[in-house]
Structure formats: structure tokens, C-alpha cells
Copies of this chain bind each other. A is one copy, B any other.
Amino acid sequence: MANIKEIARMAGVSVTTVSRVLNNHPYVSEVKRTAVLNTIEKLNYTRNMNAVHLITGRTQAIAVIIPYTNLFYFSVIIAGLAQEALLAQYRLVLCQTDYRTEEEIKVLEMLRNKEIDGVVMVSSTMSSEAIEEYTAYGPIVVCQDRGERQFSSVYIEHYSAFRSGLQYLNDKGYRHIGYCEGRPHGSSSSIRQIAFRDFLEATDQPYNDEWMIYNCLTEEDGARVLHQLLQMKNRPDALIISAGDHIAAGLIIEAWKKGIRIPEDLAVIGFDDQPIGRTLGLTTVDNQLTEMGISAFRIIYDQIQRNDGQPVHRKLEYRIIERNTV
């Protein structure tokens, strides 16, 4: 493959001039510019970007750490990131880590290696301290609320979003609220549990361990939960489902099969505003996933461009979408 030297020789100019043409630098006469462009055309030349990356110290690429790509929640964030990356002519290196810490570390090592210019950690198992050790090598954005750390963050306040959902149920008159949580040790599950307890306390309701259901992650789990409820002597009159509308969908479909009326027999509020929820008329808390991806990219892009290490912390707004399952 032809290289810049060959182009220079054939066009009768120096390599510097070729480089200037390649990078649209000023101070190149039209004559030489066209001469260079012609030989580039003739030799079917393209730059070897690895050489460019080596000398500039930049790769125009960022990595995304994400546990799964085929879950709605994550896939929407990726879509937002990818959309902005396309606009900015940046590459997105997708690292599906399955929540494995050693894989997350490998990605951060890519930052040290100079393979990428920054890292977006959509969901991470690493401690904030461990992440901070890598901020020396380039900008890092985490899509979780971890407080005022040395790395940037984009997040929604899970405490507040969850309490809003609970308050909404309360305002509609429900006084026996059950709660379906996703991963029991997920990063925001403990904060939601605190929110739940606080809410019960504030509204003078007793805590009922039976109404606290863990490991609700799939449509099938949603259906399972409905059966669990049917077994109970003392049933909740409303359910808040934190890990996504698809779980609520599974539950609602099963409820229809069993003749349980929604919301008369059981009110349901979900999270994420998924398409299937729209179809079902599911009331939900929209937590702006596309916006999260977009913001994460913009923040990291800004920091790369300005070479600015100052961490940014952006809080996103959630909103309740009222439909007819509450």
C-alpha cells in the first residue's frame, strides 16, 4: 500500500505538504494541492490511521462498558451514545462485560494503553475508588449516581424517582403497596429500599416482608409474581416494579389470563417507558434513557476536546407518564 512518502515523491512535493493537504491545513498553493490530490486518487491512497493515532495520541474512539446489550434499558442507552458518536465522527467500542469486574478493568486498561480516548461506564461493579485510579489516563463518565467523584457522571436520582412513583400510587388512594426489585444487590436497589422504607414510615404504613419481591428481571418473572400474589392471604392493592416495563407487561398479561382486573384489583406502575408498556397502557416512570446516552457522550466528548479533567455531574429528570394501570 502506498504511503505518504510515495505520494510526495510522485507529486513532486515534500511529505509535509502532503500531510498538510490531508489535514486541510492552510499555506498550500492550489497547484501543489491539486497535484497531491491527483496522485492520491491515482494511487488509491488512504492514511494508515494507526500511525496518526500513534503520533497524535488520540484515537477518536471511546469505549462503553455495559453488562448486557440485549436488554431494553441498556440497548436504549447504547442507541443514544451511538447516535451522538456518529454525529461527532467518533467510534464506539462496545464492551459487553456481563458484570465481570476483570473485564471492566481490561477496558480501563485500554485507556492507559491509549487505545481509546475515554470510557463510558453505563453500569459497573467497580468501586468508585478503583475507577478514580484511571481518571489520570483520560475522561471517564459513569451513568450512575456515585456522588461528587473524580470522574464525571450522568444519572437520575433513583431515590427520588422511586419515591415519586410510590407517592403517585399513594395520591391515587392505594395504601397497600408491594415492590418488585431487580437484582437484589444492584447499585440502586439498596437506595430504592431505603426510599421504600422512608415512604412507608412517612405514610404510616407497616412494612410487610411478603410484599417485597426480589429478582424480577424478565417477563416470566412478572408472570411468576402474579402467581405469588394470588397465593397471599393478604394482597397488596398496588405494585411498583423497578426493573422495567417488560416485567410489568409479563405480570399484566398473566393477570388478564387469570381474570385479575388492572387497576381495580391491582394497580401497577413500571419504569422505563418501553413500547410494550405503551401498548398495554401501562403507567410508568420515564427515566430518559436515550437522553442518558446522549448526555454521557457529550460530556466525554467535551472533556476530550478541551482536555479538561474537571468532572461534570449531570442529573437527569424523570417523569411519570400517566396511563391506565393506576
Contacts and interface: CB of A to CB of B under 8 A. Distances in A.
Nearest to A100: B86
- Report which residue of A69, A85, A86, A103 has the largest number of chain B beta carbons within 10 angstroms of its beta carbon: A69
A276 B98 CA distance: 22
Interface stretch (A53-61, A146-154, A166-174, A195-203): A53-61
Contact of A114 (B50, B79, B110, B218): B50
B61 A69 contact: no
A39 B97 CA distance: 31
Interface stretch (A18-26, A30-38, A249-257, A313-321): A249-257
Interface string A215-228: 00011101100000
Interface residues on A, range: 35 or more
A239 interface: no
Interface string A64-91: 1000111010011011001101100001
A79 B279 CA distance: 26
A280 B276 CA distance: 12
B275 A219 contact: yes
Contact of A69 (B82, B103, B223): B82
A275 B256 contact: no
Interface in A99-132: 103, 109-110, 112-115
A54 B59 contact: no
A49 interface: yes
A153 to B, nearest CB: 22
A105 to B, nearest CB: 12
A282 to B, nearest CB: 11
B114 A48 contact: yes
Contacts of A50: 50, 53-54, 59, 114-115
Given A53-B53, A59-B50, A94 B78 contact: yes
B96 A93 contact: no
A130 to B, nearest CB: 15
Interface in A139-194: none
A46 B113 contact: yes
A11 B19 CA distance: 38
B69 A75 contact: yes
Interface string A278-318: 11100000000000000000000000000000000000000
A12 to B, nearest CB: 25
A91 to B, nearest CB: 5
A46 B112 contact: yes
Given A69-B78, A276-B219, A54 B46 contact: no
A232 interface: no
A219 B70 contact: no
Contacts of A8: none
18 contacts: A48-B54, A49-B110, A50-B53, A50-B54, A50-B59, A50-B115, A69-B69, A69-B82, A70-B72, A70-B75, A78-B94, A91-B93, A91-B110, A92-B95, A93-B94, A94-B94, A246-B275, A246-B276
Which 6 pairs show the lowest CB-CB distances between chains A and B? A82-B96, A70-B79, A50-B53, A50-B54, A219-B279, A70-B75
